[in-house]
A and B are shown apart, each in its own frame.
Chain A
């Protein structure tokens, strides 16, 4: 099974400052079609997970453009250009290429300083 490793696991951020979360896969997530099958999800406190980024860098509908995804192969990054209070929660990466099973990272808890 694919192992997804996120860092850091805890991320205190001052509002207005940028934030970066890394995700590494134990195998390449690059498909022969050129797409990287890596998604990012955010689970806000008391809510269900929501899709932020799919195919490594495509923002889901309604996701603010301060969120961006990048990377290819085994190394991926989620960046928030300017953190807002509403961005607190746990961020997960998930691989969707080598399934089953779908594999999630351990989660990164973003909190406001």
Chain B
């Protein structure tokens, strides 16, 4: 069974840092490209970042570029999101999501349960 479990969320002051983790199981993690997507209070889903299976290709949303860093450790079946310079508008539930391959091309076919990040003084 495919499972994605996020952790690392919490309350942080503006300008602070936080590192999110996503533990993957039930599939060959290194074969899949991964994404971070967030849901802010009262808003819709927003794509945050993408990383290819080999980490060769990385993308960020303009809203987080230069402040967030995505990485992965395929030996540990884990995905990470290092967040620095946090702002109130980064307050959201952060989800890791797997990008499908041949059978489900391009779609985000599995999502974690999410971890809440609150940026407030």
What residues of chain A have their CB less than 8 Å away from a CB belonging to chain B?
Answer: 35, 37, 39, 41, 43, 48-51, 54-55, 58, 60, 90, 92, 94, 96-97, 99-107
Contact = CB atoms under 8 A, between A and B. Distances in A.
Interface residues of B, number: 26
27 contacts: A35-B105, A39-B108, A41-B45, A43-B45, A48-B111, A48-B112, A49-B37, A49-B95, A51-B108, A51-B110, A54-B109, A55-B105, A58-B104, A60-B104, A60-B107, A90-B44, A92-B44, A96-B106, A97-B106, A100-B47, A100-B50, A100-B59, A101-B59, A101-B61, A102-B47, A103-B47, A106-B44
Nearest to B61: A101
A102 B35 contact: yes
Interface string B18-59: 000000000000000001010100001111001000000001
Contacts, number: 71
Interface of B: 35, 37, 39, 44-47, 50, 59-62, 95, 97, 100, 104-114
Given A48-B95, A96-B106, A103-B47, 14 more contacts: A48-B111, A50-B111, A51-B109, A51-B110, A54-B105, A60-B109, A92-B45, A94-B108, A100-B50, A101-B47, A101-B61, A102-B47, A102-B50, A104-B46
Nearest to B99: A96
A107 B47 contact: no
Nearest to B107: A54
A4 B36 CA distance: 19
A107 B111 contact: no
A60 B111 CA distance: 14
A54 B106 CA distance: 8
A51 B104 CA distance: 10
